[in-house]
Amino acid sequence: MNQFIEKGHIKVAPEVYHALMNGKPVVALESTIISHGMPYPQNYETAKEVESIVRENGAVPATIAILDGTPFIGLSDDQLRRLAILGRKVQKTARRDIPHIVSAGGNGATTVSATMVFAHKVGIPVFVTGGIGGVHRHGEQTMDISSDLTELGKTPVTVISAGVKSILDIPRTLEYLETQGVTVAVYGSNEFPSFFTESSGCQVPCRLDSPEECAKLIDANSNLSLGTGILIAVPIPKEYAASGNMIERAIQQALAEAKEKNVTGNEATPFLLARVNELTGGASLVANIALVKNNACMGARISVALAKLRRGTVRSAL
């Protein structure tokens, strides 16, 4: 049984703790994708595969969740399975929800914003997810804007994702990130991806073409103490990119149904993603899993490059 190490009010898995203490690469992973992303046992199997990919590429995975009121950084196999079995019974947890879940002794699956909070508290600089939240379509009227964006504006953690969930308004999301002072980069392209497809039509000023370039960007942001996060968007692999037109039609239908059923707030994204998956005959879920695994591979490589860069800097200083 894992003997977790207490750090304040947080418990850290021994492997994660010792890696951080020794400057070794660690990659944070969210848990909402496990509880709300897909059914059991597929969610458990995918979570294990993602952790394995991180390890195979030289880093230590740290899946983050709140269990029985305690935030955990790095889950044991039993905890991971428990979270997967509980599924949607676990509360989807953003930054605002953390105090309530902890004080009530509840179970919380962390979204991007909550995962960033906990990753930063223990010193994990790189976090991998599928796609971040953003400005919802018609957000200029509803003011429905994900806390992921404001978190990126105030928490210095680098998020590796396939861009913004395609059910959202990508141009307005990028505008909002600019307002928050967040550096947005794309790996291997000048065009921001559209989650299920490689392009959105939105250009970004920062292109990165290697894990080492990503590491230098992260290190510069840290050395300058800018206090903001970084978003590195990694386009979905070509062989898994679903048909953009098919996905877009499904999204429009799902959005109409959500409006008709008055599905809003935290429930909107899970409803829309599930409905889009149904309407595309499962194609969107297959693509989603593929891009998460691709992001995990890239995130681990970036984390390894960052650890190597920082070790070199320490040696030079000495």
Q: Which residues are catalytic?
A: 30, 165
- Is 300 in contact with 25 (CB distance < 8 Å)? yes
Burial class (CB in 10 A: 0-12, 13-18, 19+), 6: exposed
> What is the enclosing helix (H) or strand (E) of 8?
none
Question: Can you tell me which residue has the tokens 């902890």?
Answer: 102
- Is 43 in contact with 37 (CB distance < 8 Å)? yes
Q: How many helices (H) and strands (E) does the chain have?
A: 13, 12
Burial class (CB in 10 A: 0-12, 13-18, 19+), 24: middle
- Give the whole-angstrom CA distance, residue 7 versus residue 303: 22
Q: Which alpha helices (H) appear in the chain, and where do they start and end?
A: 14-21, 32-35, 42-56, 77-86, 98-103, 112-122, 139-142, 147-152, 170-179, 211-223, 244-260, 268-279, 283-317
Q: What is the DSSP letter of 112?
A: H
